[in-house]
Structure formats: structure tokens, C-alpha cells
Amino acid sequence: MEHSDTEERFVSHAPGYWPEAADEQWHDWKWQLKNRVTTLAGLEKHLTITSGERAGVLLAGTKLALAVTPHYFNLIDRSDPSCPIRRQVIPSIEEGYDSPYDMSDPCGEDASMPVPGLVHRYPDRVLFLVTDRCASYCRYCTRSRVVSGVGEQEMHLDFEQAFAYLEKHKEVRDVLLSGGDALVLSDDKLEGLLSRLRAIRHIEFLRIGTRVPIFLPQRITPQLCAMLKKYHPLWMSVHVNHPRELTTEVRNALGRLADAGIPLGNQSVLLSGVNDNVATMKELVHKLLLCRVRPYYLYQCDLIRGSSHLRTSVAKGLEIIEGLRGFTTGYAVPQFVIDAPGGGGKVPLNPGYVVYHDKEKVVIRNFEGRIFEYPEPGAAHAVTRHEELLPA
């Protein structure tokens, strides 16, 4: 049964700025990729841009390319200069400003690459970069040094070397495909990778980190889903930052993935002027649950070069978690993390629910701010109580 109340929260913005596109073109992911907005002229055809954005587009040509699919571009509110969708994908002059803390490789990935494209940071899992291209480019991309083909470094890929490393390293049980975005590869190319990984006996768990279902929902074809489901257990992490990104088309694409048995998680990045308030995040996580997506991580924005205008305080992230935990479904609450600068990996941050803790007891605070005490097993008074229960 369809519930109209929740239906109304998902809208389609098609064809929007592309009234001339035929239906079958619009629904063709290759048409979407071919018709991306990638130039100043293309941008100005649809939007009145500011001088800061114009300068940003010129900068983008040597840092991180401009590219936005028609589907995602349509989510931009023309009348709102601080539109949260616009801030994520339209370059700005502020990208030319490097704060003293900015880094080109904020998570220290290059130093943890035993072979090109494979980041082995944690004991039992690896990040496998399989392409340097995405459907659209996020202005705060943590891998902007190598992504989109115009930045300071080239992404070196050598799949045979990566497979040889994985075959040798029997401790690796989890492989995360990322890039770039693995879902911009053709079905055949992707299947070649997945089947090769599945042939390695000690690899148990495969996952794909992707923003394609959001930028390019047309890519999630029934054929793609039928192919993916042959490689289970296969999980997917998508990347949604603002509730407006969950359109009718995106919800349907996520539904096709969920129907193929793929458990879906979401990784949001906390961004100034995009999602840095409890109300927006609450609407986002509720809409994600309606799309059968479990909010997984909320990331503090990495110290990527030229992203200081998009970063928020760490306190803001804690405030958002505090505003969700207890007030809404536990499944809707992501884990807030900082990917530690310099290569420490993801570190969880939690609001201070532990008020006091020693060998005897832990004093805790609930979501309403009320204080409770839990005795530790070894606590003197707990032992006394236990002995009182024994028969005399």
C-alpha cells in the first residue's frame, strides 16, 4: 500500500532546465553524462552566477573539474544564492584560499598505498580505488588531488598489482570499491572487477562507496542490479547530504538496489550552509529510512585544500548527534567521525553521555539531560547487595 503522506516528500525535478530532452534521453544515463554542465558557458545558460562563482569555475580547471549531471543540476534553486545543492557542486572563489591547516591528502592515503590504488590502513580491509572519474564532482572532495583528471596528481591504477597484493594478503576479508566512483564504469568492467575479487577465497565482504544513485539514478538499471546481486554479500554506501537530494528518481533507484538484496548505508559530510543544523539532518535521516538506507557515518569535513568555507565546528556535529539520539529512531542516527588528519583513520566522536566513571560506577546522562548511575560489577556496594541475597 502506498502512503500518500510519505509519497509527498519525494518529488521529481525533471526535466527542469532541460525541457527539450526527450523522455528516453532523460532516462538514459549515458545521455545524462554527455549532457553534464562542465563549462562556464553551460553554467551561465541556466543560472545567473556570481563573480565569485565565475572565478571559481576558472580555478576548477586546474584543481577539480566542474561537472554536474542534468538530474542533479535540476535540484538547484535558481532563486536562492545560498542553495545547499549549489554549494556542493558549483565552484567558488573560496576554493582558491588555502587555510593554514589545509592539505592535499588530508587522510594520508598516499602513505598507506602498498600498490597503486590500494589503501591498506586497517588490519582486515582495504580501500580499492578503481577510477578517477565521478558522475559529478563534490567541491569538498577528499581525493581532489587525483580525482577528475585535472588536479595536481594523476591517479595511478594497476589492477593486476592490486589483485596480486590481495591474493597474497589473506588477512584482507573486506574490499571497498571507490575512486572516483566505481559505478561510472560499464557493467562489464565492474563485473570483471567483482568476479575477480570473488575468486579470491579469503575475501568475504564486498562493498561499493558511490554517489551515483544520487547524481545519476538512471545508472541504477535493472541489468546493473541483476549483475550486482550475483556477488553477494555486497553492500553499498551512498552519499546524501541534504534531504532535497532524495528525489522520486533517487528513491526508486535505491529501491531497486535494496530489492537486489544490497544493504544500503549513507555517509554524509557535515557542510556549512548545507546540512549543519538538526532540523535538516533530521529530515534527511528520516527520508533515508523511507528509502531503506541506514545512516552510517556523519563525517567532519576533511581538511582538504580550498574547503575551509564549507567546514563547520566539531561542536556542530556533536550537537546534531545529540539532537537525534533518543529523539528519533536509533537506526536513523549515524556515527559522527573525524578521519584523523595525517592518516589515523576514522575516529568516533560522541556527545558526553558519560558524566563520571570509576571502578565502582558510571554516571550517565540520558537524551533529556537526566542523570543515572550504573554500578560496575566489582563495586563494593554491588557485592554487598549480592551477599544479602545468599541464604543465611
User: Which residue of 87, 125, 242, 287 would you call a contact of ligand PLP, by CB under 6 A?
Assistant: 125
Whether residue 139 lies in the annotated active site: no
Q: What angle do CA 184, 48, 58 make, to 5 degrees?
A: 60
Q: How far is the CB of 288 from ligand PLP (least distance, A)?
A: 17
Question: Which among 83, 86, 105, 134 is annotated as catalytic?
Answer: 134
When asked if residue 228 is in the footprint of ligand PLP (CB under 6 A), the reply is no
What are 128's strand-pairing partners? 118, 177
User: Which residue of 97, 101, 122, 353 would you call a contact of ligand PLP, by CB under 6 A?
Assistant: 122
> How many H helices and E strands in the chain?
15, 12
Separation between Cα atoms, residue 157 and residue 366, nearest integer Å: 48
Whether residue 141 lies in the annotated active site: yes
Q: Is 358 helix (H, G, I), strand (E, B) or coil?
A: coil
Question: Which among 97, 101, 122, 353 is annotated as catalytic?
Answer: 122
Whether residue 98 lies in the annotated active site: no
When asked if residue 119 is in the footprint of ligand PLP (CB under 6 A), the reply is yes
Which positions from 164 through 203 interact with ligand PLP, judged by CB under 6 A?
176
- What is the number of other CB atoms lying within 10 angstroms of the CB of residue 314? 13
Pair 32, 71: CB distance under 8 Å: yes
Q: How far is the CB of 76 from ligand PLP (least distance, A)?
A: 29
Look-up: residue for cell 556549512?
A: 272
When asked if residue 239 is in the footprint of ligand PLP (CB under 6 A), the reply is no
Angle between helices 187-198 and 159-168 (to 10 degrees): 20
Question: Which among 143, 251, 287, 311 is annotated as catalytic?
Answer: 143
The one segment of 116-124, 165-173, 249-257, 373-381 that binds ligand PLP by CB under 6 A: 116-124
Whether residue 122 lies in the annotated active site: yes
Task: Retrieve residue 154's grid coordinates.
Answer: 594523476
Q: What angle do CA 214, 301, 94 make, to 5 degrees?
A: 90
Q: Contact residues for ligand PLP (CB under 6 A)?
A: 119, 121-122, 125, 127, 176, 346
Residues recognised as catalytic:
121-122, 125, 134, 138, 141, 143, 302, 339, 346
